[in-house]
Amino acid sequence: MKAINKMLCLVDGEHYLPVTQQAIDTLNNLEHIDVAGAVFIGGTEKLRDDSEETYSQKLGVPVQFAEDKDIPYDIIVSMIRQYNIDTVMDLSDEPILDYPKRFKIACSVLNEGISYEGPDFKFEPVSQYDIMKKPSITILGTGKRIGKTAVSGFVSRLIDKNNYEPCVIAMGRGGPSEPEIVHGEELEITSKFLLEQSEKGIHAASDHWEDALMSRILTIGCRRCGGGMAGEVFLTNMKKGAKLANEVDSKLAIFEGSGAAIPPIKTDKKITLVGANQPIETVTGYFGPYRISLGDLIILTMCEEPMASKDKIAKIEEFIQEINPDAPIISTVFRPKPLEDISGKNVLFATTAPEGVKDKLVQYLEKNYKCKIIGTTSHLSNRPLLREDMKKYMDNADVMLSELKAAAVDVATKDAINAGLDVVYCDNIPIPINDTYPDLSKTIINLVNSAIDNFDNQI
């Protein structure tokens, strides 16, 4: 049986009161809707009386007024809680609400776990299915390639080393049709093995292969198609993957988002990744604040020039602090870490990192891994350009060093093996930009411990 939908309406004084009243009556006349209250969010053009009492009487529902000229985001949230609201219905419009204000309302409403609707839109909080029978965490992000897999690898290795026995469940747009277990803890995942997988038609650079190779733990690969503005996916088999995660030999599950899509599984704690390289409005506007508010720990990635200036990093940190004051924030950069010894070798380095940081990464590799980088390509995700770049340098290289992403297997690994090169894969390690931030490893262990406490307290 369908439950009654308790609504909170957003109204304004730019509408003539009888018009708003008709809209509320129309909603209330529907059997499944109960308008439990209204928030007067501003506007005086057609306002004849500005008392909460008169408005409440005329509209037939409790009304609260904005106390100042800005949109009363806090009153909307407090009324949602007070009246146990299911849906916020927007009966206002320009000029009181513009797009940025509506997104801000949407983030506040979705954060309360309810829907925000207007005449031609409906936003819903991301699905969170309650499946897990062991402690779990989520790693989600505000965009594509901002380092979820890199951080997930760092987290899994760290907690594995500390005997928490994690497994990782990843979903990707190249993931398998049935959730697939990869025993990273047992399998020897070599370049030849990955190439064999790729030749069977599998996306062998998919996130769960990367996780398994980089972290040497059990991973479960899932797929997803599409991603909504607030992080919902159109299709995924991650629910099945979560059930599998309950059964496998591990004590803690790490769910990894894909792009800006959020794993649809209810977990005990969440880490939100924010890319300092992203346009600032993607972080501070649209559904960036929603994702940031979901995090119990916020890791800012790519915090260096040319992706982000000091000023931009400070602005993002300040914004995060304002909207999610309880979550620790740690600003980081990534540095490459080859999985095998490449000292003394002539290396061709393939990455998806932007051209602008290439020189920094090359210097870092040469200094820390005593190799000679004789050529690089940042075209790992563009097969024709990658092939062209590889041809230029392959004759002089001993080793193909590549991230395990995009065309790393079907092009980089394949062509390198054919040319007689050794293939070594390369991880990306998050490193805090200075020591004013909380210690990354300790903060992650604290988060994992509180996820375990949270799980234990719910049993």
Ligand X SMILES: O=C(O)[C@@H](COP(=O)(O)O)OP(=O)(O)O
Residue 175 touches which of ligand ATP, ligand X, none (Cβ within 5-8 Å per kind): ligand X
Least Å from the CB of residue 2 to ligand X: 35
In the complex, minimum distance from the CB of residue 223 to ligand X, in angstroms, rounded to a whole number: 7
Residues 6+ apart with CB under 8 A from 175: 203, 206, 207, 208, 221, 222, 223, 224, 237
Query: In the window 287-326, what residues touch ligand ATP (CB under 6 A)?
Result: 302, 307
**Rounded to the nearest whole angstrom, what is the least distance from the CB of residue 329 to ligand X in the complex?**
24
Amino acid residing at 201: G
Q: Which stretch binds ligand ATP (CB under 6 A): 18-26, 138-146, 368-376, 437-445?
A: 138-146
Interface segment toward ligand X; rule CB under 6 A; list 40-48, 72-80, 167-175, 445-453: 167-175
Contact, 268 vs 133, CB < 8 A?
A: no
DSSP H or E stretch at residue 53 = helix 52-59
Q: Which stretch binds ligand X (CB under 6 A): 40-48, 201-209, 363-371, 382-390?
A: 201-209
Q: Residue 157 has what DSSP assignment? A: H
173 binds, among ligand X, ligand ATP, none (CB under 5 to 8 A by kind): ligand X
The correct pick among 172, 263, 264, 295 for binding ligand X (CB under 6 A) is 172
Residue pair 360/384 in contact by the 8 Å Cβ criterion: no
Rounded to whole angstroms, the Cα distance separating 158 from 136 reads 15
Per rule CB under 6 A, is residue 150 in the interface with ligand ATP?
A: yes
Are the C-beta atoms of residues 35 and 87 closer than 8 Å to each other? Answer: no
Beta carbon nearer to ligand ATP, 286 or 349 = 349
Q: Are 245 and 219 in contact (CB under 8 A)?
A: no
Nearer to ligand X, 173 or 266 (CB): 173
Q: What DSSP character marks residue 4?
A: P
- Kindly report the backbone phi and psi dihedral angles of residue 123, in degrees, each rounded to the nearest multiple of 5, phi listed first: -115, 135
173 binds ligand X (CB under 6 A): yes
Number of residues written out for the chain: 459
**Among positions 206, 236, 331, 351, the unique one binding ligand X when judged by CB under 6 A:** 206
Check binding of 275 to ligand X (CB under 6 A).
no
| Ranges within 419-458 binding ligand ATP (CB under 6 A) | 428
By the 10 Å C-beta count (0-12 exposed, 13-18 middle, 19+ buried), 456 is classed as exposed
The residue type of 234 is F
- Structure letter (DSSP) for residue 438: P
Q: Site mask, ligand ATP, residues 219-258, x = CB under 6 A?
A: ---------------------------------------x
Tell me how far apart the alpha carbons of residues 112 and 128 are, in angstroms, rounded to a whole number. Answer: 13
- In the β-sheet with 5-11, what is the strand arrangement from edge to edge? 63-65, 33-40, 5-11, 87-90, 115-118, 121-123
Binding mask 69-108 for ligand ATP (x = CB under 6 A): ----------------------------------------
The residue nearest ligand X at its CB is 172
302 touches, from ligand X, ligand ATP, none (C-beta below 5 to 8 Å by class): ligand ATP
Helix residue spans in 296-343 (DSSP H): 310-323
Which residues would be at the binding site for ligand ATP (CB under 6 A)? 141, 144-150, 207, 258-259, 302, 307, 333-334, 351-354, 357, 403, 405, 428
Which residues would be at the binding site for ligand X (CB under 6 A)? 144, 172-175, 203, 205-207, 258-259, 405-406
